[in-house]
Amino acid sequence: MALPVNLSQRERDKFVEDIAGKVAVRGYDDAVFKQLQVINSLTPSAYDSITTSFPNSSTEVYVFKSGGVGGTTVSTITVIYTDSTKENLSSVVRT
């Protein structure tokens, strides 16, 4: 998500955009800012591979890895819908 160009410079300075296009609120302390970036992100900050599986008709599992498809798992996101139509989301869990 790119920052809109019509924001005044003062307002733009409140946000930061990384090379992947993610936008976060700018922190005043680097340690706090890095923590905020992690808290505000569902996907991990460093990965180079995503694999997807569908264990049943209402569940999707996304595995993020570093080091390619056979690399180390960085994070897993499990998306569960209320039924197989996938019209209503039941839960999203990141581990």
How far apart, in whole angstroms, are the C-alpha atoms of residue 61 and residue 29? 35
pLDDT value, residue 60 = 93
Beta carbons within 10 angstroms of residue 75's beta carbon: 19
- CA-based end-to-end distance of the chain: 24
pLDDT value, residue 79 = 92
How far apart, in whole angstroms, are the C-alpha atoms of residue 43 and residue 50? 11
Q: Is the pTM higher than 0.75?
A: no
How far apart, in whole angstroms, are the C-alpha atoms of residue 51 and residue 73? 10
pLDDT value, residue 63 = 92
Residues with pLDDT less than 70, the chain? 1-41
Percent of the chain with pLDDT over 90: 28
